[in-house]
Amino acid sequence: MSSPQKNENKGLFAAMTSGLSMFGNAMHRSVNGLLGYEGVEVINPEGGKEDAEDEAQRGRWKQEERDSYWKMMQKYIGSDVTSMVTLPVLIFEPMTMLQKMAELMEYSYLLDQADECEDPYMRLVYATSWAISVYYAYQRTWKPFNPILGETYELVNHNGIRFIAEQVSHHPPMSAGHSENEHFAYDVTSKLKTKFLGNSLDIYPVGRTRVTLKKDGVVLDLVPPPTKVNNLIFGRTWVDSPGEMIMTNLTTGDKAVLYFQPCGWLGAGRYEVDGYIYNAAEEPKILMTGKWNESMSYQQCDMEGEPLPGTEMKEVWHVADAPRNDKFQYTYFAHKLNSFDTAPKNLLASDSRLRPDRYALEKGDLSKAGAEKSSLEERQRAEKRDREARDHKFTPRWFDLTDEVTPTPWGDLEVYQYNGKYAERQAANDTSGSDEVHLASMEFNPWQYGNLSAE
């Protein structure tokens, strides 16, 4: 296996593909001209398995639905559509953004290994592999539901962790999450920024992710790459995340810099991730390579980034088996996130599992899911009117807004901090196991002023 090549300035792995060929651009113009939608990119990332024009006609929507939706969405081109557009339920998956955040916990054992590891560079190998592992799940092309303000999601009975996430702001949409076990504590404040480009959507992760390894108190900071969702309306929808992922050990100054290759024409470079673990002096110590949908491997390297003689490439993470032909491309862990088996007995009434629109979609009732989604959105507006009438500002229950504003590559971020009250609540209740029949009968209620009916 060839090793990553060093950039002359920083030793980063250089991209092998930087764009579409002239032939590819000509093909795009031909396909778009055929459909009558100039400027809408349509490509087949699987690499020539089907004719490009046939691929352009594919997609989850009927032709008349695509035409109608395209006409509606044209006015939003170039805009951030995170919360300003009401989307049809047929493009959704039966999961919320809070549950999507929890998917990062599937391979949390890698953080356990990072905590137990004595080698500071191998710590970053384990921790970055954990950060990369979620991208296999993130390639799903269905949209998760936007959480209602005050909505929560809880996860237990998985690798000894407890996870809590809460929707802490509606405009702009912001979520905060905390997870913990005996080895690590994970904290995130997330505020997605988007740019709608017609047939694609750029997603910028304006967030702060911190992991504290408890054994030595090491603090890791993660900056993920942006994501691009291609062929939203025309063609087979697919996801790419080109760019750098940087994880910094704030305690020692060591860092990992991994490059996610952009998908080129006919799928060249898709899924590939390459880079290095550096010490505080920016000297490469370990090279990493792999594919985010398969596995990651590592090998010790010299000052030039070349493999050390006598060492070998070793696999550190491999994606788990997934269900075949799953309707929503779910992993087994994604199904567990919707299950009450991973819920505590004293589940909060604001939990995403209890959302009637999400549950109806899970059962395949699109009509009911759409009606319930509209009802929830109207009740959210009613609760906002009630708060404003009381001159009251929404206050999250499990996270506190701090005075810290942290810069990110895509804008400044107000930071929310876990306040520990959720752990106090859990300690006061028996949370072992779950009673699925009892929990499933609960009514979804994230509202601060009772279960408001639509006005």
Of residues 123 and 92, more confidence is placed in 123
| Residue 396 CA: distances (Å) to CA of 13, 31, 162, 258, 421 | 42, 49, 19, 35, 11
> Is 252 within the bounds of a domain?
yes
Of residues 16 and 414, more confidence is placed in 414
pLDDT at 34 over 50: no
Average pLDDT over residues 112-137: 97
Q: What one-character-per-residue DSSP string does 398-455 give?
A: SEEEEEEEEEETTEEEEEEEE-SHHHHHHHTS--SS--HHHHHTSPP---TTS-PPP-
> Is 373 within the bounds of a domain?
no
> Is 377 within the bounds of a domain?
no
Give me the domain span that covers residue 44. 1-85+96-342+397-428
The confidence score (pLDDT) of residue 78 equals: 59
Of residues 3 and 278, more confidence is placed in 278
pLDDT digits (tens, 9 = 90+) for 336-363: 999 999 999 899 999 999 999 999 999 9
Residues facing residue 273 across a β-bridge: 260, 290
> Is 220 within the bounds of a domain?
yes
Of residues 284 and 453, more confidence is placed in 284
> Is 325 within the bounds of a domain?
yes
pLDDT at 187 over 50: yes
pLDDT at 28 over 70: no
pLDDT at 411 over 90: no
pLDDT digits (tens, 9 = 90+) for 376-399: 999 999 999 999 999 988 999 999
pLDDT at 134 over 70: yes
Average pLDDT over residues 258-263: 93
pLDDT digits (tens, 9 = 90+) for 200-244: 888 888 889 999 999 999 999 999 999 888 887 767 788 889 999
Of residues 440 and 283, more confidence is placed in 283
The confidence score (pLDDT) of residue 149 equals: 96
- Paired sense of beta strands 92-96 and 143-145, if any: parallel
Q: CATH number, domain at 222? A: 2.40.160.120
The confidence score (pLDDT) of residue 135 equals: 93
> Is 11 within the bounds of a domain?
yes
Mean pLDDT rounded to a whole number for the chain? 82
Band (410; pLDDT cuts 50, 70, 90): confident
Of residues 19 and 262, more confidence is placed in 262
pLDDT at 250 over 70: yes
Contacts of 309 (CB under 8 A, 6+ apart): none
Band (81; pLDDT cuts 50, 70, 90): low
pLDDT digits (tens, 9 = 90+) for 264-301: 876 778 899 999 999 999 999 999 999 999 999 999 99
Contact 266, 48 (CB under 8 A): yes
> What are the b/e assignments for 244-274, b being 16+ CB within 10 Å?
bbbbbbeebebbbbbbbbbbbbbbbbbbbbb
For the chain, how many structural domains are there in total?
A: 1
**Which residue from 127, 129, 165 is spatially nearest to 144, judged by alpha carbons?**
165
Of residues 109 and 236, more confidence is placed in 109
> Is 170 within the bounds of a domain?
yes
Of residues 81 and 292, more confidence is placed in 292
pLDDT at 5 over 80: no
pLDDT at 35 over 50: no
Band (6; pLDDT cuts 50, 70, 90): very low
Of residues 157 and 83, more confidence is placed in 157
**Out of 55-64, 319-328, 423-432, which region has the weakest mean confidence (pLDDT)?**
55-64
The confidence score (pLDDT) of residue 30 equals: 31
The confidence score (pLDDT) of residue 401 equals: 96
**Out of 119-128, 180-189, 382-391, which region has the weakest mean confidence (pLDDT)?**
382-391
Average pLDDT over residues 78-83: 56
> Is 436 within the bounds of a domain?
no
Residues facing residue 39 across a β-bridge: none
**Number of helical (H) and strand (E) elements in the chain, helices listed first:** 12, 18
**Out of 66-75, 171-180, 216-225, which region has the weakest mean confidence (pLDDT)?**
66-75
